[in-house]
Structure 1
Amino acid sequence: MICIRRARPADAAAIGAVHVATWRTAYAGVLPDGYLTSLSALRHAAGYETSIGDRRHGHAVFVAVAKGADAPAGTPPGEEEGTIIGFVSGGRSRRPGFADGEVETLYLLDDYRDRGIGRRLMRAMAAHLAVVGCRSVMLWVLKDNPTRWFYQRLGGRPMAREVIRFAGESMEQLAFAWNPIEALLTATAPASEA
């Protein structure tokens, strides 16, 4: 069973580990190898622990938790809390004028892709942003990120592009938007609601 729930401070270490694991696979060949090998799950965990507790600007973090038969191989039997396999974070937009809300991160372990979990995480964030008063939502993704098709499949409309410096290199990133936010809620609705 996979459940989506609001993150708790105790989840920070697992979230940091998911962040590092997904970056190393998604950005292999996109970001420098030295940068990817230097990523620290512990350092990311510290940042996420702060992020989980920060509710300013409508900020929230949601996690996907696998339990039972859906838990990763090697999970001890009877693991009550389950294993975090993905997460999403966001809040009010960091750049006024683009959209009211922003999805800041969405990461899911490779073994759990193409099962509707990313869609469920996006829905949790969109529903949260709608509740805190956001009428539109956007996100940034590196142009060379091989999973950017996911946002397009959910109806995200390209709205901007820019070149940024990251890991010592120039990279292009794209912004996708859903305006109104109901477009994302509809695109991520379970089949029974569509």
Structure 2
Amino acid sequence: MVTIRRARPGDAPALGEVHVACWRSAYAGVLPDSYLNSLSATAETRGYERAIAERRGGHAAFVAVADNLEMPGGGVVGFITGGLSRRPSIAEGEVETLYLMDDFHERGIGRRLMRAMASHLASLGAQSAFVWVLEPNPSRWFYERLGAKLVAREDMVFAHQRTTQLAYAWDPIHTLLTATATTKLPR
């Protein structure tokens, strides 16, 4: 069983590990191996420690925690972070990160994490939300399936190569809340 809860300061090392593992998986063959190999869970951990503690701009992090039947020893298998938008011209709320370990895809966990963040953003008064995703990311379809619309694209240099990032938005945020609502599965 996987539960979703608000991240605690002690979760930061697990967030760093999941972050690095997900980047190495999602961007293998897309971004240079030298860049992916240079990613540091320790460095990512420091950033997540600050983010969890400070909560600036309504920032929040939610984790997906597997019990020991799903993952030996239990632990964080995914997480989401976000808060009030750093680009209010696009939307009022922003999903900054969403990472889920490969073995836990296609189980509705990402949808549940998105639901937690959408509810949080709505509680802050955000009427809309968005997420940036690198164009080569094979998971961007996930946001489209949740009703997001492509609203912006920016060319950029990342990891010493040119790429494009895409902004997907839910406007109004109710679109995301509806798309992530829990439904009963047939027996």
TM range (shorter): over 0.9
By how many angstroms is 1:55 displaced? 1.5
Task: State the 1:37 CA deviation.
Answer: 0.5
Instruction: Using the TM superposition, give the Cα deviation of residue 131 of structure 1 relative to its aligned residue in structure 2, in angstroms.
Output: 0.3
Q: Mean Cα displacement is larger for which, 84-93 or 54-63?
A: 54-63
SS in 1 for 2:177: helix
1:26 aligns with 2:18: no
Of residues 123, 131, 137, the one that matches 1:131 is: 123
| Residue of 80, 84, 97 corresponding to 1:92 | 84
- Extract unaligned runs of 5+ from structure 2: none
* Higher mean C-alpha deviation, range 97-106 or range 49-58: 49-58
The alpha carbon displacement at 1:70 in A equals: 1.6
Which stretches of structure 1, 4 residues or more, deviate above 2 A after TM superposition? Answer: none
TM-score (norm. length: structure 1): 0.93
Q: Report the AA paired with residue 40 of structure 2.
A: S
**Matches of 2:57 and 2:51, distance apart in 1:** 12
Please name the residue that 1:79 is paired with.
Answer: none
CA distance in 2, matches of 1:123, 1:183: 11
Tell me the residue number matched to 2:43.
43
For 1:163 and 1:30, the matched residues in 2 are separated by 16
SS in 2 for 1:69: coil
Q: Distance in 1 between matches of 2:89 and 2:24?
A: 32
8 A contact 1:123–1:184 mirrored in 2? yes
* 1:68 Cα deviation after fit: 3.2
Give the deviation of 1:56 after TM superposition. 1.8
C-alpha displacement of 1:89: 0.2
Q: Which of residues 170, 182, 185 is equivalent to 1:190? A: 182
Q: Deviations over 1:99-135 (max 9, x none)?
A: 0000000000000000000000000000000001100
Q: Distance in 1 between matches of 2:156 and 2:61?
A: 25
- 2:57 is matched with 57
| Cα pair 1:88 1:107 within 8 Å, conserved | yes
* Amino acid paired to 2:113: L
In the other structure, the counterpart of 1:171 is 163
Aligned-residue Cα RMSD (Å) equals 0.8
